[in-house]
Structure 1
Amino acid sequence: MTEVVIMGAKGRMGDTLVRCTQQSDDLKLAGVLERAGCEGGLDALGCVCGTSPEEVLTKVPGAVVVDFTSPSVTLKLLETASITGNPVVIGTTGMTSEELEQVEEYAKKVPVFLAPNMSVGVNVLLKILPELVRMLGPAYDMEMTEIHHNKKVDSPSGTALKLAQCMAEARGLVYDEVKKHARDGIIGARTKDEIGVLAVRGGDVVGDHTAYFLGPGERIEVTHRAHSRETFAQGALRAARWLSGQKPGKLYSMADIF
């Protein structure tokens, strides 16, 4: 039985994670956290409740923490977990390169798993897209679009960035040198190597991502659509089960599970 702690338990992802954990035969909801002022009603879940990692993690040694919050909250969590020894599964997106470096440092002290998208389908795309890049060759321009609900705070999505990065690397490019996250005005013709990523926001879309390969006389579109947050929740809980048996020393990802 793997014990799990859910960060942001009353949020969109947190609520889904709590429900999926409670419905699982091999997981136990050991604790939940929510920011101060929003924690009302959590005691009804029958587990350890609190508003700070220090308050909760010391009471649930060994429990795996699942976190889909914000970069600053995630780093604070890792600071505490590195002391208490609780493994951490991170689905938080929008981190800077400096923040990701901090995550990697914490992974040397405690087991840490990081994935911008926990769905099996997206992680299969990360394997397939580089092969498409190599087979199609440089004559095909590469672009990416992503659509998310109107409450999403980061842009482009972490998933879009990860997919575009793997495409760039497959062509021997450095993503930060070729990315185009905005186009406006008289910008001139598209350069040979640039990769545009367009973010669309609206409604309650869970997450759509489309990779485009636009070549002479044809184009290929590869699309992944998430129909429910349960897709991500089940992937994160699968990671929690796996991470509970791992040791610190590296930053783990979905590739390690596969």
Structure 2
Amino acid sequence: MKLIIVGTGRMGQLIRQKAEDAGHEVLAMGDVLSPGDVPALSAKADAIIDFSHPDNLDWILSLSGSAALVEGTTGFDPSHTERLRAASVTRPVFYASNYSLGVAVLQKLASDAAKMLRGFDIEIVEAHHSRKADAPSGTALSLLDAVDPESSFDRVYGRHGRPGPRTREIGIHAIRGGTVAGDHDVIFFGPDEVVRLSHHAGSREIFVNGALKAAEFLQKQQPGLYTMDELLEETAA
């Protein structure tokens, strides 16, 4: 594949390294502030992989060509996801808050557990490195949607002071420190028992590997919006 990488930080550099190791050609790297050769070469790309900042999205969608888009930026609001949906009418778009296959399985397990453990109290805890900008993580929010798809529970982001007895709520907690690539726990508290579903990311390479798999997957797809669900289905086939 011929790739454009948006984002020149640690993730962007790692994506470039792994892509070239796998035999792909990286045409250019850049972002809206330092575009480099991206605008000139975008029409030649098979895929654009973006792990940068939400402010780059409109610039990416304005680039010439119809390259598939793998979107891995976190911190999107509903307007960003709606723009991705609109873009998917004319090109294949893959969007995930986390590109780990293990996290995708965790989301499915958490969804099933929430249906089978009705009446259990649910808490979500995530931990990331000290430089992560957003909290809670996009993955934690995806897990929240997996266990509460109808938003029927109050969502409590951390607790302090005297919050009083628990009501119909789900707690979401963010921890920051060190070089943690990403840990996520979904915990179900029942009478005299606790069920804990966990995922530990040993390094950022798992996200890079997933993003490259997504880019390869999109080469076979028609325009549309794709997620880790479709990639898991292909992996399991």
Q: Normalization by structure 2: what TM-score?
A: 0.91
Q: Distance in 2 between matches of 1:13 and 1:62?
A: 19
Shift of residue 98, structure 1, vs aligned partner: 1.8
Q: CA deviation at 1:79?
A: 2.8
Native 8 Å contact 2:95 2:225 kept in 1: yes
Do 2:16 and 2:26's aligned partners in 1 also have CA atoms closer than 8 Å? yes
Pairing 1:174–2:151 present: yes
Question: Contact (CA 8 Å) 1:35, 1:51: kept in 2 or not?
Answer: no
Q: Does 1:123 align with 2:99?
A: no
Q: How does 1:1-258 map to 2 (within 5 A)?
A: 2-9=1-8, 11-25=9-23, 27-34=24-31, 36=33, 50-51=35-36, 53-58=38-43, 61-80=44-63, 83-138=64-119, 140-169=120-149, 173-174=150-151, 178-192=154-168, 194-248=169-223, 250-258=224-232
**Structure 2 unmatched runs, 5+:** 233-237
Q: Per the alignment, in what secondary structure is the counterpart of residue 160 of structure 1?
A: helix
Q: Give the secondary structure class of the aligned counterpart of 1:151.
A: coil
Worse-superposed segment, 16-25 or 228-237: 16-25
Letter in 2 for 1:19: Q
What is the aligned residue count? 232
Q: What's the TM-score once normalised by structure 1's chain length?
A: 0.84
| Letter paired with 2:93 | V
- Where does the alignment leave 5 or more consecutive residues of structure 1 unmatched? 38-49
> Which residue type is aligned with residue 190 of structure 1?
R
**Cα distance between partner residues in 1 of 2:32 and 2:109:** 39
Worse-matched range after superposition: 236-245 or 179-188: 179-188
Are 1:129 and 1:167, in contact at CA under 8 Å, matched by a contact in 2?
A: yes
Task: Mark the CA change 1:122 to 1:195 in structure 2 (over 3 Å): closer, same or farther.
Answer: same
